[in-house]
Amino acid sequence: MSNICNCPKPPGGSVSCRDDQLAVCGYRNGEIVSGCFDPPGHAAFIADEREKNLIVANWVASTVTGAVRDDNDPIEPHLFEILDSGRYVDEATGEILNFTLPSTLDLRNIRIQRHEAEGSI
C-alpha cells in the first residue's frame, strides 16, 4: 500500500511513498520540497508504543516545521492539530507543506501537553 501526499496547486501533482514513510510536498523558502522520508531507525527498537509514537511524532514535527525537537518533547495542542491536519502553513514565510503521516504513527496514542493558566487554583 502507498502513502500518497497531494501537492498544493500550483504546480499540483502528488508524491507516492511506502506506507511506513512520511510523504511531503509543498514550498519552503521559495523552493518546491517533496519526498519520502524514513522515520528514525531507533524508534523501531522501542517496545513501549506510546514512547515510540512520541519519538515519531516529534520527528515528523521537526521535518515538517523545520524546528529542532527532542525525541521526548511534549506535543502541544497546536502541534497536534498540525500533525492531525496533514498541512503546515507559515504565513510569515509563505511556506506551505502538505504531508501524509507514516502508517506506523498512531496519533490517538500520543499524550498532548496542556498548559495550565497561570494563577489558576
Task: State how far the Cα of 101 lies from the Cα of 82, in Å rounded to an integer.
Answer: 11
Domain-located, residue 92: yes
Does residue 52 fall inside a structural domain?
Answer: yes
3-state secondary structure of 64: helix
Which residue type, as a one-letter code, is found at position 121?
A: I
pLDDT, position 90:
93
User: Domain for residue 20, yes or no?
Assistant: yes
Q: Is residue 121 included in any domain, yes or no?
A: no
How many Å apart are CA 117 and CA 110, to the nearest integer? 22
pLDDT of residue 115: 59
Q: Is the distance from CB of 20 to CB of 102 less than 8 angstroms? A: yes
Give which of 101, 115, 80 is closest to 24, Cα–Cα: 101
pLDDT over 70 (residue 120): no
